[in-house]
Structures are given as structure tokens and as C-alpha cells.
Amino acid sequence: MKVRSLLALTITVALVPVVVFFAAPLSRLVEAERDAGVRTMQEAARATSLAVDAQWYEVIGLVRATSNSSKLESNQMAAFGGKARSLVQGRSSYLVLFDHEGQQLINTSMSTDAALPDTRAVSGARIASVLAADKPVISNLLRAPGAGRHVVALEFPVHLPENRNYVMSYGFDAALLAQALPPPAPGRAVFRIYDREGRLIQSNRLPTGAGSQAPAPIAAAIQAGDAGLIRTGDGTYTVLARSALTGWWIAMSETTEKVDGTTERTVLLSGLGLALALALAIATAWALSDRIAKAIAQTSAAARALGAGAGGPPQRSGIDELDHLEESVYQANRLLTEAALERERLLVQTQQAREVADAQNRAKDEFLAMLGHELRNPMAPISMAAHMLSLPNLDAAKLRHAGQVIGRQVEHMNRLVNDLLDVSRVTRGLISLERKPLRIQSIIASAIEQASSIVEAGRHELVVETGKQPLWISGDAIRLVQVLTNLLVNAVKYSPPDTRIVMRAGADGDTLVLSVADNGTGIEPDLLPRIFDLFSQGARRPDRAAGGLGLGLALVRKIVELHGGTVTASSEGAGKGSCFTIRLPMCDAPVETQLA
């Protein structure tokens, strides 16, 4: 075998491990990129499902409040009908009240002087099932009679004393659900809402095609309850997220280019790089083999000349070529080492990405479990109060107590939902600030007023140090009061009773510095770097007094950043208190204030 063939074989054998070791992490990297893209789509679909559910929670709250009308309870149907008509006026909605037999008693979609049809045969069985289930029922997509438009409806059971049972049906234009979908834009993902039968309710792509049946792959996935990646055959991928509240499905569709494009480009560029490396290696081997062959030929000629007694000492050129060969082997080994190090680096990056994804999944799972617990807690007192309301001969005091219990728990649930909506709007950039010059002392006073009840309940000493000089900033008063209230409530929740909380405000050049400090439980060092992340919380006390969803500080940071400021947290450790510091740009006092 010739030297050239041997050298080519050597280079080939040396590059095979490089190819193998390069292909393995590349495959893992491609798989990780694809999985990350699918997870991102699934999270977007689930977030949109939560936004749709939030709309329904608002509708349920509206219908529940309407069902508590004293006019309905006192059987003043004409007066209640007037209230129902005023409720739906301008809302693109209607309200129908059925008795327990399915007969319409009030229908806001008909004129007040029109006779209501006998609907017992058509609606009796459906109304009976709603009353038997004793929980709100959300419909699939419906077509409004004679209106040529699609609607969705909520049927809400109402139980009143003297065994008076009604079902309140509240329907509205399905197009209103588009408010929960991301705004349409060229090149962006398409979001669609399908009902339980796979019919399209709403889409953020125009025309929406409401009422049409889902494409066969999506319909099959809905039927099977499959939320994985679906290839729809029209150049797009789709993922599904099912709402536990409505049973509807949120479909997010992206082009295959967006899902697979990065992966394909990565594979293509890597393949081209590998091919180029192989080509360069072959060319190098050819050149080196030629040089080695020449060196050997020179050495042979010198040896023959020496044997014939006519030559001189061996030419150093032959030894130099061998030295160059050794150097090439060394360089090849160095390339192999670098390739191995690069492979390890890629593996470490892949592992780190997987750990980040696992941490995010754990945070999401913990948040969902926490949200379920926080939403489930009010159900027991509400259920007990509802049971009391169904008891005969209930005296006024117990009736009032039951109503107060339901009101408090519903208010608690509304606060949780409002926190979720606030964070969703802020993170998606859907809120706008109504900025105007504000005196920080008045903002602090409003925040203290809102948090006074929880401060007094914990018997805390609240110290406020703002100085005598007015401090002015440009901002949204409601949002800034929300920020300071969140920090005060946070300080109270994580401080034992009878402790001191200090709020300070002062100027540092053109910057306003606000701080809220306490001497409570403090912040663990491992929690401090992510204290402002969504769903991050410290350890809960056994009495759950420091409960919540972990949204408050994330909302604080977003609102402060929208005002052009920063917020930081500091703590010397567990049990040594904490301090939250806000820095905001100051502005000049209003002209009328300066003149006064």
C-alpha cells in the first residue's frame, strides 16, 4: 500500500470519531430545539385558554350577581325583567329566565309586549339536567334564532326559598371571545377556539370562519383528547389546550417553517461545515503525501548515492518532512481534543437548558397546584352558605350571614382572578399608563389606607418617613398605589405580629428612592436572585398566612419598569428582615402648584 493511501486512510480513521461525536450532540441539540418550540406553543395555548376562562369567570360573576336580585327573590318578574333588559343593553347579549319546567318567564331578545312561546317541550329536559347538576353549564357554539350570528351561552341554576327553582341563560355574541386572543398580525401564530364538538367558535385570523368544522387532524385530536403536536397538512403545526371550565379547545397553529426551520438550518449548516472539514482534510492529506513521497525519494536517492560512494550526507529535507508529519499528527490530535471539548460544552448547554425547562415546569406545576388550592378554599364556605340558603324557615340573621360569607369568598376569588389578569396584561403589554405629575406623599397615603386593615390585624408598627419637601414624579396613581400596597402587604405577610415596618421616601439627585423595610422572616439567599420572577414565593408558614399566588412582586417589577424605574430586594438572610427599594425618575412640580 502506498504512502498516499496510508495517509488518506489515517486521516479518514481520525475523522470518523469526530463525525460520530459531532453527530450525537447535534442530534440532541436538534431534538431539544424542537421540544422547546413545542413547549412554547403549548404554553401559549394554555395561557390563551386561561384568558378565555377569565372571560367566562366574569360572565359567571355577572350572572351570579343578577341571580341574587331581590326582585327575583320577591317574585317581581316584571321589575326583574326590566333589570335584566338594562343589564344586557349595549352588550350584544341576551338573558332568558326559565322555570323548573323549561318555560320561558323572561326573554330580553323579545319585546316586552310579545307573548312568550311555550318552551317546556323543547327546553324542559335540558333545564331539568342543569338544575340536577346544580352548577353552571357552558354551551357549545349556537346560532342565534333569526339573527344569523353565532352565540355562546351560560346556563346558571338559581335556587330560591319555597322550592322556587329557575335557570338563568345568558348568551352573548361569540365574536366577543376574540378579546381573549392575541391580536392578528402577518407572520404571527393563529389562535382558534373550538367547542366540544370541534366546531370553530372564534379565531384571530380574518375571516374567522365561525361555525365551520375543525380540519380532520384537529377534529381527530379533539376526539381523542390529544394535546400533542399535530401536522394539519396545510403547511402548519398545531397544538391544543383544553379548558377544564368550558371543555373547549384552544388551538395554536404555527407554520412548519417556524417550528422546523431553525432545526433544518442547524442541520444544514452543520452538514456543510462537516463536508467542508472533510474536503479540507482530503486536500491536506494529498499535499502532505506528495511532500512525504518526495522526502522519501530524496532519502532513497541519497542512500543509493552513498552506496555507490558518490553521494554526500543525507539531505535534511527528508528529515524535515518527517518532522512536519509529526506536527500534522499533533495538530490532528489537537483538533480531536477541541472537538471533544466542544461536544462536552454542547452537552452542558443542553443539560442546562433542560434544567431551566424543568425548573419552569416545576414552577408552573407548583403555581397550578397553589392556584387550585386557593380557588378551592372558598368553595367549602360558599357550599355551606348555599346549603343554608336552601334550608326552609331560615331567619334573617342566618340569611344575612350566609350572604356575607358568599360575598367575602367571591370577593377573594375575584382578587385571585384579577391578579392573574393584571399579570397577563402587563406581561403582554396590554395596559397603558395614565401618567400625570403626582406627589409621592399622596401615593403613600393612599397605599397605607388600602393596607391599613391588614397592618392593624397584625398589630404592626408602621413608620413613614417622607420628609417635609414635596417629591414629584410622573406616573399612574392607581398603578403606583398598587405597587406600594403590594410591598406593604408582602411585608405584613412575612413579618410576625407586633413588629416594625418602615416606609421611607427621599430624593437622590433627580431620582426618587422609595423603600419598604421590615424585620420579619427575611429572604433566603437562593430565593433572592429570583424573588421578582413569576410564581416565586418563600417558604409558607404552617398557618398559610403568607399565602397567595406569587404574582405580587412580579407585578411590582413590571409596573415599576413601565414607569422607567427599577426595584431591588435585599436581605441579610432568613429571620433578619428584608428591604425592597424602588428608584423612579422625578419630575418638576405642576405649574399651578409652583404658582400657589
Q: What is the structure's pLDDT at 306? A: 47
Contact 540, 502 (CB under 8 A): no
d(CA 194, CA 441): 50
Cα–Cα distance for residue pair 40/581, rounded to 1 Å: 33
The pLDDT, as a whole number, for residue 585 is 95
Distance CA 327, CA 334 (A): 10
Return averaged pLDDT per consecutive 10 residues of the chain, 596 residues in all. Answer: 66 69 70 81 92 94 92 91 90 91 92 90 94 94 77 94 93 90 84 93 86 91 87 86 93 84 72 77 73 64 54 55 56 74 88 76 64 66 81 82 81 72 68 87 92 88 89 92 91 90 93 94 86 65 49 86 93 89 92 60
| Helical axes 396-427 vs 552-562, angle rounded to 10° | 50
Count how many Cα atoms sit within 13 Å of the Cα of residue 457 in the half-sphere of its side chain: 9
- What is the Cα–Cα distance from 119 to 124, expressed in whole angstroms? 7
Distance CA 517, CA 452 (A): 16
Joined grid coordinates for residue 400? 344575612
Q: Is 0.85 surpassed by the pTM of this model?
A: no
pLDDT of residue 152: 94
Is 56 within 8 Å of 247 (Cβ atoms)? no
The answer to whether the bond into 25 is cis (omega within 30° of 0) is: no
Q: Tell me what pLDDT residue 546 has.
A: 46
- Half-sphere exposure at residue 67, Cβ-oriented, CA atoms within 13 angstroms: 26
- C-alpha span between 206 and 485 (Å, rounded): 42
For the chain, how big is the Rg over CA atoms in Å? 36
Q: What are residue 252's phi and psi, to 5 degrees?
A: -115, 125
